[in-house]
Structures are given as structure tokens and as C-alpha cells.
Amino acid sequence: MATLHSLGLCDGLILGPAPDPSAAVAGLCVDSRETKPGFVFAALKGGALDGAEFAQYALRMGAVAVICSLDGALRAREDVGGFPVPFIVDADPRRRLALAAARFFGAQPGTVVAVTGTAGKTSAASFTRQLWAAMGLRAANLGTIGVEGAVTAALAATTPEPISLHRALAAMAAEGVTHCAMEASSHGLAQRRLDGVRLAAGAFLNLGRDHLDYHPDMADYASAKLRLFAEVLPAGAAAVINADSPLAPVAAQIAAARGLRAIRVGTAEGAELRLLDASFHAEGQTARFSWEGREHSVELPLIGGFQGANALAAAALAIGAGSEAGAVFAALPRLVGVRGRMEHVATRANGARIYVDYAHKPDALAAALDALRLHTPGRLIVAFGAGGDRDAGKRPLMGAAAAARADVVIVTDDNPRSEDPAAIRAAVLAGCGGDGRAEEVGDRAEAILRGVDALGPRDRLLIAGKGHETGQIVGREVTPFDDAEAARAAVAALDGLDADIESDLDGEDAP
Ligand SMILES: CC(=O)N[C@H]1[C@@H](OP(=O)(O)OP(=O)(O)OC[C@H]2O[C@@H](n3ccc(=O)[nH]c3=O)[C@H](O)[C@@H]2O)O[C@H](CO)[C@@H](O)[C@@H]1O[C@H](C)C(=O)N[C@@H](C)C(=O)N[C@H](CCC(=O)O)C(=O)O
Ligand SMILES: Nc1ncnc2c1ncn2[C@@H]1O[C@H](COP(=O)(O)OP(=O)(O)OP(=O)(O)O)[C@@H](O)[C@H]1O
Ligand SMILES: N[C@H](CCC[C@H](N)C(=O)O)C(=O)O
Ligand SMILES: [Mg+2]
């Protein structure tokens, strides 16, 4: 049974009654409405509200202690007229909560690694898990698409808040999972969600424009990502750095200052895992790289140079976390693409291929189109939109990225949420330029049908933005929608029964 003492909640500044170290703690919560008798309530200052204002309700519901900042404690004191239970004051209450959650749930897989970066976290985390699994280890990955691998579970966030995160890690450990690769989102890092995780290695992939609705500027966003090296990884852990990122020198300096073992990965000179060249063909790519003075050549069944880069980052994470390099490299040809990430979902009777990708930011859309271009003998067609209630600044940039790279651009809807879908499309179209190459088709199924219909034998269609998602969010309603299914339906409608059967088989191949 957890106690205030076992959760590390009897130290430091405590206002109100001295805590009884042996007092049992039944659970932790950050939402007063979820308080149960015997819980510790963490009163956190959020983007919209201040949890301290809800401490009074948490106490009424039976909270035995409160974790909060000093100003939070003083604010709560006015509401309740004193400190009836211990108020554990911490300058960084989110971190204190994360450490307490780690202790509350106890077990974690023995080897956990974390991947941060604007793009490629889900892919690199999945690849790391796949490499471990290929080497016979019981492994899982955790992030945007939930928990996958030796165990599966749904999650509400890319990097869940610490209570859910540690519950998930403990459940994995109970299932015998020894190796876990997790995604570290910038929100997660900024909000200390993974500060209680015992990490063996971390990776920094890249930094592009994203989440400026949450981070005040790019420096704040970058510092959240680099917090993984600067504050979260313990000394001695491995720091995998994309050597081709402009931030690589800063990341390497931070790693050195923190006593981390840097492994740079990429084409840049001096990279420990150095990509020498890559050649692309219809089903994948051949990558030649060097490691510790020896050259290796591997066949990667992955579309896009960036997926090759993510695969090498995953290899470096596995090596950094203790696996033998030879075994890791031998496992690389067994990697399979991740659902909704440059996923081949259907083929038309004329041979044209259709891909679904989760690119929903300017850089990612550009990278996905550049990647697919190398596998496209004919015209490249793209259908995409931009999400509502999210960074509006990215909309014209996505339009510009698509117009600069695709031969045909179809702008459609992607989770308009509470916004006017036509206004979002107009913002995207404004970035496309006025040469008439961009078409507006609001209904996503119809847009996909148009794109599929336009495909000549040598053409490729990229449906971007929703990846693995299975719904279209309009207002507060979620209507079932799956890009891969819509693509197969369009192929069936246009090519008839034969194609229908073929694409069904296609579907069965998908993970
Ligand atoms: C913007 C953001 O990250 N918000 C997270 C943050 O909420 P917040 O602290 O700002 O919440 P708030 O509404 O201001 O409330 C402050 C506090 O008062 C508490 N409260 C509120 C009302 C009440 O009656 N009682 C009560 O105790 C709240 O529980 C909260 O602790 O802390 C909460 C608790 O830890 C999170 O659940 C919440 O994530 C929300 C659900 C969210 O949508 N997050 C997204 C943006 C997110 O984290 N995304 C990333 C990145 C994904 C990607 O890469 O694309 C992810 O890792 O998923
Ligand atoms: N290394 C990379 N560089 C640039 N773009 C990439 C890279 N890896 C993936 N992408 C693009 O970003 C999209 C998202 O990939 P992935 O889901 O692996 O990233 P993520 O960081 O987990 O994203 P999110 O934060 O949305 O969960 C892909 O669909 C692809 O288009
Ligand atoms: N994690 C991201 C996913 C965006 C995916 C896109 N389909 C959209 O809805 O904007 C977010 O919620 O901002
Ligand atoms: Mg992700």
C-alpha cells in the first residue's frame, strides 16, 4: 500500500498539519472531480484554469493531501480558511506529481527509451519496438496510436499525463514487457509528464513548425523538446541526435554537459551512425551506412528517405539502450511501415498506387511529398486539409508546401471541429497560389474519389493528414471516417469488382 512517505511526499516545504508518513494513499488525481477518499490531489496551474481553485472540492471529496505551488497553496487557503490537510509545496508541482506517480505504480519495463521531435516520433518508436521484438525481446511502443506490440491498449494522448502513463507502464511490466519505446511530445516534456520514467536512452529527431497554439514561440517549443536531454535523461543514458538537424550542435553540447553518451545519426560528417547513401525503388530503399568504421548495406522496406532516417534513429536507440549493433542491423530489413505513415493502402487496376500519411503540418507534408516523388514515375496528386481549433498559421504554409510539390492539389476537410470548414479550406487555398492547380472539394470521401479518379497508370496519390484516424470531427460530432477505407471504396467504385477483391486483399496485408 502506498503511503505519503513511499510517494516522497513527506519532504520539503509542507504547510498545514505535519504529514503522517504511514498515511495510506489510495490514488492520485489532477482533476478535483476524480478525487476519491484517500487520494492525493495535485492542484496544477493549467492553460485555462488553476487547479488550486478546486482544492476545496478535492478536500470535500476526501483528499488526504494536496501537491501545489506556494501561490496555489495560498490561494486555496483563502477558500478553505486554513490547511486542513498537508499541502506539499513544490516550485515544480507537475514534476513532483510525476515522481509520485512513478512511485505509486511502481513497476516500469526495465529498459525505456523516449523519442522527441516534430515528426517521426510514432514511426521511430514503432521501429525501435520492432527491432527489439525481432531480437526476441518482449517489447512495446507507446504514443499517438496507443500501446502497441507485446501488449496493446488505447491512450488519450501522445505522451499521457503521468498518472495514466505510469499506469500503462506498470501494466506493461506486469505483462512481462522488458523494453518500451515511448513518444515524448513537447506538451509532455513541458508538463513534466515523463519526468518519473527511468530512461535508458532518448532521441531528438527534428524541429519544425508545430503547436504554436501552445508554445509562445519556436524557442519555447525547442526548449521543451531539448528538455529531454537537458533535464529528463539521467547521466550515462544515451542521447541519439539527428546529425542533420540545425539543432544538432546544441543538442550535442547539452548531451556532453549532462554526461550523456551522444550517438549522432545522419549524413553529416562525424556522425557515429553515418548514412552514406540511399537509393529508392517501388517497394522501398537500400541504405548504406557506417558504424564504428565498418560499412553496412541494408534493404529497408520503407517508403521515403525520412522513414529510413527514423529507422536508423531507432537502431541507434536500440544500441544506445544496450543491444548489440550487429543484431540490430540484422533486424532492420524486417521493419514494416507504421499504420497511416506512408502506408500503401490500395492500387488501381491500372497500377497507380495510393498512400495514406499522417502529415498534418507544413514540414511533414513537404517531406511526405518529396519522399513519394522519388517513387513516382508519373504525376503526384495530393488530397489534404487542415484541422480546426489548431494553429491557424500553418494552413497557408501547408497549401504552399503542397502546391510547390504536387502536380494536382485537392484541398478538403480534416477535422474542422468548431470552425467553419470553408474558412479553413480558404486559408489553405490562399497558400496554394492562383495557378488553378488546387481544387476545393470539402467532402473528404468525394475528394479522395476525385484524386483516385485522376490517377493515370504511372501516377501516385497521397492522402495526407489523418493517417490512422478513424473519424472526422465536425463540431462536436465524430463521424466514422478512414482514409484507407475511403481509398479502397473509391478504387472499387471506379475499377469494379476485380479491383474490389484485389484491394480487399491489400487491406488484409495492412498491419
Ligand atoms: C494544453 C494541454 O496540454 N492541456 C493539458 C493540461 O491541461 P491544463 O492543465 O491546461 O488544464 P486546465 O483546464 O487549465 O485546468 C487546470 C487544472 O485544473 C484541474 N481542474 C479543472 C476543473 C475542475 O473542475 N477541477 C480541476 O481539478 C484540471 O484537471 C487541471 O489539472 O494538463 C491536463 C492534465 O495533465 C491535460 O489533460 C491537458 O491535456 C489536454 C487534454 C490536451 O488536449 N492536451 C493535448 C494538446 C496534448 O497534450 N497533446 C500532446 C501532443 C500531441 C501531438 O504531438 O500532436 C500529447 O502528448 O498528446
Ligand atoms: N523524420 C521525419 N522528417 C520529416 N517528416 C517526417 C519524419 N518522420 C515522419 N515524418 C512525417 O510526419 C508524419 C507523422 O509521422 P509520425 O507519426 O511518425 O510522427 P510524430 O512525431 O509521432 O507525429 P505526431 O506528433 O503528430 O504524433 C508522417 O506521416 C510523415 O509524413
Ligand atoms: N495530435 C494532432 C493531430 C492532428 C491531426 C489532424 N488530422 C487534425 O485533426 O488536425 C492534434 O490534435 O493537433
Ligand atoms: Mg506521434
ipTM of the complex: 0.92
Q: What is the pLDDT of residue 510?
A: 40
Residue 36 confidence class, pLDDT cut points 50, 70, 90: very high
Place of cell 488526504: 64
176 is in an annotated binding site: no
Looking up cell 505510469 gives 166
Ligand 3 contact, 390 CB (< 6 A): yes
**Residue 497's pLDDT is what?**
57
The residue assigned the cell 470535500 is 60
Ligand 3 atom having least distance to the Cα of 465: 7
Q: Which of 3, 63, 58 is nearest to 39 (CA)?
A: 63
Q: What is the pTM assigned to this prediction?
A: 0.87
> What pLDDT does residue 496 have?
83
Q: Whose CA is nearest to atom 37 of ligand 1?
A: 161
Whole-number pLDDT of residue 370 = 95
Instruction: Indicate the top mutation candidate among 35, 44, 57 to test ligand 1's pocket, ranked by most ligand atoms within 8 A of CB.
Output: 44
Q: How far is the CA of 145 from the centre of ligand 2 (A)?
A: 12
pLDDT at 509: 42
User: What is the number of the ligand 3 atom nearest to the C-alpha of 466?
Assistant: 7
Is 416 labelled as part of a ligand binding site?
yes
Domain ranges of the chain: 13-102, 106-334, 343-495
Residue 210: predicted pLDDT: 66
Distance 341 CA to ligand 2 centre (A): 7
Percent of the chain scoring above 90 in pLDDT: 86
For residue 183, the ligand 1 atom closest to its alpha carbon is 57
> Which ligand 3 atom minimizes the distance to the CA of 388?
10
pLDDT band of residue 220 (cuts 50, 70, 90) is confident
Q: How far away, in angstroms, is 358 Cα from ligand 2 center? A: 7
Which amino acid is residue 126, in one-letter code?
S
Predicted pLDDT at 212: 67
User: What CATH fold (topology level) applies to the domain 106-334?
Assistant: UDP-N-acetylmuramoyl-L-alanine:D-glutamate ligase (3.40.1190)
- Give the pLDDT confidence of 225-284 residue by residue, as tens digits: 899 999 999 999 999 999 999 999 999 999 999 999 999 999 999 999 999 999 998 778
**Same fold for the pair 13-102 and 343-495:** no
Q: Say which CATH superfamily domain 343-495 falls into.
A: Mur ligase, C-terminal domain (3.90.190.20)
311 confidence band (pLDDT: 50, 70, 90): very high
For residue 123, report the distance from its CA to the centre of ligand 4, in Å: 7
Where does ligand 2 bind, in terms of residues with CB under 6 Å?
117, 119-123, 144, 158, 183, 205-206, 306, 309-310, 341, 357-359, 364, 367-368, 467
Distance 32 CA to ligand 1 centre (A): 13
Nearest ligand atom owner, CA of 157: 1
**Of the given ranges (61-70, 130-139, 498-507), which has the lowest mean pLDDT?**
498-507
pLDDT at 126 over 90: yes
Which of 483, 477, 229 is CA-nearest to residue 339? 483
pLDDT tier, 211 (very low <50, low <70, confident <90, very high otherwise): low
Q: How far apart are CA 4 and CA 188, in angstroms?
A: 25
Mean pLDDT for 339-345 is 91
**Å from CA of 91 to ligand 4 middle:** 30
- The residue behind cell 513548425 is 209
Please check the confidence at residue 70 and state whether its pLDDT lies above 80.
Answer: yes
| pLDDT of 508 above 70 | no
Average pLDDT over residues 28-33: 97
Distance 43 CA to ligand 4 centre (A): 28
Q: Whose CA is nearest to atom 3 of ligand 3?
A: 360
- Residue 320, marked binder: no
Whether 434 lines ligand 1, by a CB cut-off of 6 Å, is no
With a cut of 80, say whether residue 444 has pLDDT above it.
yes
Top-confidence residue, 379 or 81: 379
Report how far residue 339's alpha carbon sits from residue 326's, in angstroms, rounded to the nearest whole number.
Answer: 27
The pLDDT-based confidence of 511 (bands split at 50, 70, 90) is very low
End-to-end CA distance of the chain: 40
Q: What is the average pLDDT across 123-132?
A: 98
Distance 17 CA to ligand 2 centre (A): 49
Q: Helices in 332-406 by DSSP H: which ranges?
A: 362-373, 394-405
The reply to whether ligand 1 has any atom less than 6 angstroms from the CB of 116 is: no
**Ligand 3, atom 13: nearest CA belongs to which residue?**
390
Q: Residue 342 in contact with residue 307, Cβ under 8 Å? A: yes
Is residue 498 predicted with pLDDT exceeding 70? no
| Environment class of 64 (CB within 10 Å of its CB; exposed 0-12, middle 13-18, buried 19+) | buried
pLDDT score of 284? 84
Mean pLDDT calculated for residue range 211-221:
73
Atom of ligand 3 nearest to the CA of 467: 7
120: number of Cβ within 10 Å: 26
User: Which secondary-structure segment (H or E) carries 71?
Assistant: helix 70-80
pLDDT at 424 over 90: yes
Instruction: Answer whether 49 contacts ligand 1 (Cβ < 6 A).
Output: yes
- Tell me how long the chain is: 511
Task: Please tell me the distance between residue 387's alpha carbon and the centre of ligand 3 in angstroms.
Answer: 6
What are 90-125's pLDDT values in tens digits?
999 999 999 999 999 999 999 999 999 998 999 999
pLDDT digits (tens, 9 = 90+) for 358-408: 999 998 999 999 999 998 989 999 999 999 999 999 999 999 999 999 999
| 225 is an annotated ligand-binding site residue | no
Q: Does any ligand 1 atom lie closer than 6 A to the CB of residue 83?
A: no
Its CATH class, for the domain covering 13-102, is alpha beta
Contacts of 46 (CB under 8 A, 6+ apart): none
Q: State if residue 33 touches ligand 1 by the CB under 6 angstroms criterion.
A: yes
User: Which atom of ligand 3 approaches the CA of 414 most closely?
Assistant: 7
